Amino acid sequence: MALCLAAIPLSALSAEPSKGEFLQDYITCEHWIKRAASDEDMRDTIGRWVVDALRQHSRSRLSRYGDGEILAVVESHCRAQPKHTLTVATFLAGQRLPE
């Protein structure tokens, strides 16, 4: 039993979810949307990164969708679940966009 507990990292036992190594793991959808009014450049940069990530992980590169369409799907997830991280919203958008 002690061996099993020793194999679990201490960070896995904390109440706070751990942050990932990626930018989107540090930004909730709520923060991203709120920043739109005050910092359009940040929003555009992160939006570009989201689109690139979705295209990179798609077999078809989502070629039949424009960047605006892809961002609209991500934004709809952010509006529906503003406490989700951008990682979750991006993943869900990728699931919603058919190849």
Q: What are the residue boundaries of the structural domains of the chain, listed by start?
A: 20-96
Structure confidence at residue 28 (pLDDT): 78
Structure confidence at residue 27 (pLDDT): 77
Structure confidence at residue 44 (pLDDT): 80
User: Which residues of the chain fall below pLDDT 50?
Assistant: 1-17
Structure confidence at residue 29 (pLDDT): 83
Structure confidence at residue 76 (pLDDT): 95
CA distance to 4, 29, 32, 82, 93, per residue, from 79 (Å): 40, 8, 10, 5, 12
- Rounded Cα distance between 46 and 59, Å, is 22
Which residues 6+ apart lie within 8 Å of 10 measured at CB?
Answer: none
- Rounded Cα distance between 42 and 51, Å, is 14
pLDDT digits (tens, 9 = 90+) for 71-89: 999 999 999 999 999 989 9
Structure confidence at residue 35 (pLDDT): 64
Structure confidence at residue 15 (pLDDT): 45
Structure confidence at residue 80 (pLDDT): 95
CA distance to 14, 25, 48, 55, per residue, from 71 (Å): 33, 17, 9, 12
Which CATH class, in words, describes the domain spanning 20-96? mainly alpha
